[in-house]
């Protein structure tokens, strides 16, 4: 986007709740040296979890991991955890929704980058760049060398950034952001599949509606909210017979740092997105906040944030949720999310880098994902 939205005062607009007042918070000592001392797990107001629900053998398994693209010791630790989870039970596919190349996305002035252009639809690439940015291999593909199966990505705000230190000499902010988006969409590797700014992935009983949520936060690079709304409106027409999930970098509700981004204008833009998605979408899979969260919008839609891939925020306290949302679980521990989808429903599991479960939920049919006891 053309600028990074500032963090707004915590007393800003939006219906906020204080999780500490709503329910008791559970704190547990968990070590993570690479995360700079992230040692606290906080649980929201989910209540007593229900009994464990075994995963059907026919379920597809999906790794969900955002904000991964920084060469940190935490990234290496999370990558090893993903490989270990895969060894226990293979992933059908992986979803990496945004902030794939820190801090500033691909280099828009590398030789050959100027050749990258979008097609008239503003979504697919017409002409790819003639060069390759080494950051793709260094920050994404290399750390994921052990990961098998297709890896699908979405654009995050760092991927198209133009703020101080991330602009490009001789290019306007619009040109910089658009070229960065083009370079990421054009890149091809077995561990990097982004066929367009927004696109569909159909796998077994599931459909993943992958969006460019930067354009929800603010129009940028010539891309607009209206384009995302038109895409989502058409994409969910197949959701009568599939379990559909909206995948994008920015969550529509947040209890972490980016709670403060939500003013009336941003809340209205997300409300339009959720209205376009309609009631057939089962959940939103997001990142952006560098932590793990299970939230629910005021309308009852599950939101799962798996953004602790490479950079933790160990002092996060999760004290409020924007726009009447509800926090069911939150943790500052580095880890990952695993989604399972089968014919009768779906489930989700957050686990730490040690492979131990942190939070699980299970949904039957089109119902909400209700917290359950985790299998070991």
* Half-sphere exposure for 102 (CA within 13 Å, toward CB): 13
Establish if 14 belongs to a structural domain. no
Tokens of 9: 């005062």
Determine, yes or no, domain membership for 87.
Answer: yes
The confidence score (pLDDT) of residue 43 equals 63
Using DSSP, state whether 200 is helix, strand or coil.
Answer: strand
Q: According to the model, what pLDDT value does residue 191 have?
A: 96
Q: pTM for this one? A: 0.90
CA angle centred on 303, ends 359 and 214, rounded to 5°:
130
Query: Percentage of the chain with pLDDT > 90?
Result: 81
- Asked whether residue 324 is domain-assigned, the answer is yes
Token code pair at residue 53: 């629900």
Beta bridge partners of 305: 286, 293
List, for residues 237-275, the tens digit of each pLDDT value.
Answer: 989 899 999 999 999 999 999 999 999 999 999 999 999
Q: What is the CA radius of gyration of the chain?
A: 19
- The answer to whether residue 1 sits within a structural domain is no
| CATH code, 33 | 3.60.21.10
Q: What is the DSSP letter of 278?
A: -
- Does any domain span residue 2? no
Domain count across the chain: 1
| Spans of the chain, pLDDT less than 70 | 1-44, 46
- The answer to whether 156 and 96 are in contact (CB under 8 A) is no
Q: Which tokens sit at 64?
A: 């969900």
Residue 13 in any domain: the answer is: no
Structural domain includes residue 5: no
Q: Which domain holds residue 268?
A: 19-372
Q: Single out the residue of 355, 320, 317 nearest to residue 334, CA to CA.
A: 355
């Amino acid at each position: 986007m053309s600028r990074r939205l500032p963090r707004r005062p915590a007393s800003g607009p939006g219906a906020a709740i204080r999780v500490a007042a709503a329910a008791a918070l559970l704190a547990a000592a968990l070590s993570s040296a690479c995360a700079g001392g992230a040692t606290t797990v906080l649980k929201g107001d989910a209540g007593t979890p229900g009994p464990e629900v075994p995963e059907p053998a026919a379920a597809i398994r999906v790794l969900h991991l955002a904000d991964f693209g920084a060469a940190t010791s935490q990234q290496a630790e999370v990558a090893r955890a993903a490989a270990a989870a895969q060894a226990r039970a293979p992933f059908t596919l992986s979803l990496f929704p945004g902030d794939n190349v820190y801090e500033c996305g691909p280099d828009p002035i590398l030789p050959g980058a100027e050749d990258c252009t979008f097609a008239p639809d503003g979504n697919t690439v017409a002409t790819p760049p003639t060069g390759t940015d080494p950051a793709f291999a260094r920050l994404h593909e290399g750390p994921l060398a052990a990961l098998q199966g297709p890896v699908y990505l979405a654009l995050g705000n760092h991927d198209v950034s133009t703020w101080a230190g991330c602009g490009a000499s001789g290019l306007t902010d619009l040109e910089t952001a658009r070229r960065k988006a083009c370079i990421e969409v054009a890149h091809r590797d077995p561990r990097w599949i982004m066929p367009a700014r927004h696109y569909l992935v159909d796998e077994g009983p599931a459909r993943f509606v992958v969006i460019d949520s930067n354009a929800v936060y603010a129009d940028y690079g010539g891309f607009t909210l209206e384009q995302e709304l038109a895409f989502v409106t058409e994409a969910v027409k197949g959701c009568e017979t599939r379990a559909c999930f909206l995948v994008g970098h920015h969550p529509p509700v947040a209890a972490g740092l980016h709670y403060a981004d939500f003013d009336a204008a941003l809340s209205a833009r997300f409300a339009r997105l959720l209205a376009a998605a309609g009631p057939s979408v089962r959940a939103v899979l997001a990142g952006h906040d560098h932590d793990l969260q299970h939230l629910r919008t005021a309308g009852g839609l599950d939101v799962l944030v798996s953004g602790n891939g490479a950079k933790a925020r160990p002092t996060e306290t999760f004290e409020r949720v924007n726009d009447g949302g509800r926090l069911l679980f939150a943790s500052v521990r580095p880890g990952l999310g695993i989604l399972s989808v089968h014919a009768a429903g779906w489930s989700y599991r957050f686990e730490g880098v040690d492979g131990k479960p942190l939070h699980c939920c299970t949904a039957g049919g089109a119902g909400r994902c209700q917290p359950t006891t985790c299998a070991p």
